[in-house]
Structure 1
Amino acid sequence: MISRTEGFITVADGERVWYETAGEGPDLILTHGLGGNAAVWYQQVPYFAQHYRVISWDQRGFGRSTNEKGNHGPVAAVSDLIEIMNLLEVDRAHVVGQSMGGWAALGTAIAVPERVESVVLACTTGGIPVGFGPDGAPPLTAAPVTARPLGEHPAVGGRLPSLDMARAYLYQALGTFGHRPPDTEFFRILKAHNYSPSDLAAVTAPVLLIAGELDDLMTPERIRSAAEFLPHAEVVELADRGHSPYFEDPHAWNELVAHFLADVRARPVR
């Protein structure tokens, strides 16, 4: 039986941020992207909770977390994540960020480097100043969620609906939960929030950057360019996958991340 807890933390400005823990062991934090909330990790939590204490959470305005003051974005996300770490008495953690979640993951590694064991940037440039989106035009703004055909979402590409309509529909539905700002507003905030080259050069944790071959939002070329800013980075490209390999092909994604984490844990303590 795998242990599980959930709850809310009231953060510094009064917002209530939801979190969940599952399993026991070294801490592994999963931070979702713009298309979902903590529930998108349903194919990762049971897998990793066998060997880690997996911590997932809803960013402000997503899922169960509030966003009454409208103070959302990377700065608030990093602050909220550190408050969750404090509440749960996390000494050191492996931190994963998918797409938008990469800004929080990398920002935490910059803010509290002594508490971050490793970083996984999954299909994200995470605030590294290399840009994102095809020719600067974010594809997620093409149509609001309410106007998309059944199962269609740019974050899972065009293949998933034809292969597994049920999971494609689930991803589409998860993106409607909560009181999140429009995609266009988040893209504006993310594009304006870049970490400095000096901050990035000071990241001491090993970083795995995952790219999807078919990802036209965070292209493999931009992911490789982003890795050049980090002193301890490696890039793995998943063939025939789009912007959300963790959702599209959880087996391959889970195995890749598990291998990276095991390798990091086998290294001498920094």
Structure 2
Amino acid sequence: MLPEAFAPQTRVIHGYERAYRMAGRGPVLLFLHGIGDDSSTWLDLLESLAGDFTVIAPDLLGHGFSAKPRADYSVAAYACGMRDLLTTLDVDRVTVVGHSLGGGVAMQFAYQFPERCERLVLVGSGGVGAGVHPLLRLAAAPGAGLVLPLLGTPPAVAALRGFAGLLRVFEDTDLDYVLTRYARLLERDTRSAFLRTLRSVVDWRGQVVNMLDRCYLTEGIPTLLVWGTEDSVVPSGHALRAHRAMPGSRLVLFEGAGHFPHRSDPERFLEILREFLAETPPAQYDRARWGKLLRAGRPQQQRLDTAEIPDAPTVSSGT
């Protein structure tokens, strides 16, 4: 498919421009990027999948080509924004693929709008534990907004490259990509949106939003978890927590990969995603069953198990 097919388009929703990429035909896959990123992170995958699926990759509000207003940047607001965008596109049901912050939004979308979620694919996802890299905790601290404008300057980028390489903050395959995203913080509106988004999910103690208490509701929703074993942003032990908390979920760990397994090994990621889509039927929402799950609540044994799992994984790969 020609690259022009994936050029950003926009819809105005609630007075704000929302950018998105959309192409293909067939069952719909919705791809959600992480904080400070944009829909271009998925481009290679979109081109490969558009022959068999309708692929939609938005720029979340405050990111990429979307508007960056003084607004609500909470995970719940992002989930509502995805519902509204899909409605304007006449799309009712989707398989949601979310990376990092986008994974948290994907889980929130499935929780708020279960009738619209066919499957979940969570990639290095936020929202399944407090642990997060200390640099994100620092960035969420008061006064960080005074320092962030400096991070996009050439001297700061060079210093960050050396610092990150020395301490292995990011894998080599991730570092250059992440640093290009830091450069955007020179823009005032982008920086403000980044801080509002970050502070809605992270504080000095770690991640604020935790979906583990509601993960049992994914019973009946086919769920795939993909993590890099060397993820230093969202510790890979979170994958095991999520796997235990989500009944029937599949877990695949990418040995040696960092926070962007879909970029470090796109061919393997694509193979696993296609296999998952082919082998799992889309979830069918049943209001009575949903109510029964809510009344029963989270299993007591599950509470004990998830609390005992460390941040570092005890296995290197598998399902």
TM superposition score category, shorter chain reference: 0.7 to 0.9
Aligned-residue sequence identity (percent) comes to: 24
Q: Paired residue for 1:224?
A: 240
How many residues are matched? Answer: 258
Task: Flag the structure with more relative contact order, 1 or 2, with Cα contacts below 8 A and sequence separation at least 6.
Answer: 1
Match status 1:194 vs 2:203: no
1:114-263 aligned at under 5 Å gives the runs 114-125=115-126, 127-128=127-128, 130-134=129-133, 138=136, 141=139, 144=148, 145-146=151-152, 147-149=156-158, 152=161, 157-160=170-173, 169-174=176-181, 176-177=183-184, 179-181=190-192, 185-190=196-201, 191-195=207-211, 197=213, 199-203=214-218, 204-263=220-279
Aligned Cα root-mean-square deviation (Å):
3.0
> For 1:246 and 1:231, how far apart are their aligned partners in 2?
24
Is this contact kept in 1: 2:212–2:242, CA < 8 A? no
The answer to whether the 8 Å contact 1:37/1:174 transfers is: no
Q: Structure 1 residues 181 and 260 mapped into 2: Cα distance closer, same or farther (>3 Å)?
A: farther
In 1, are the aligned partners of 2:18 and 2:58 still within 8 Å (CA)?
A: yes
- Structure 1 residue runs of 5 or longer lacking an equivalent are 162-167
How far apart are the structure 2 equivalents of 1:30 and 1:16? 18
- Contact kept? 1:215, 1:243, Cα under 8 Å: yes
Render the CA deviation track for 1:118-150: whole Å, top value 9, x for unaligned: 00010014x23x22225x663784995422339
Greater C-alpha Rg: 2
Which structure shows the higher helix fraction?
2
Cα distance change on mapping 1:24 and 1:176 into 2, 3 Å = farther
Range 36-45 or range 172-181, more displaced:
172-181
Query: How far off is 1:159 after superposition?
Result: 2.2
Would the aligned equivalents of 1:40 and 1:171 in 2 still touch at CA under 8 Å?
Answer: no
Alpha-carbon distance, 1:245 to partner: 1.0
For structure 1, which segment, 249-258 or 47-56, has the greater mean C-alpha deviation from structure 2 after superposition?
A: 249-258
State the TM-score, normalizing by the size of structure 1: 0.83
2:244 maps to amino acid:
E
Q: Structure 1 residues 182, 114: closer, same or farther in 2, change over 3 A?
A: closer
Q: Determine the C-alpha separation between the residues in 2 that align with 1:6 and 1:83.
A: 18
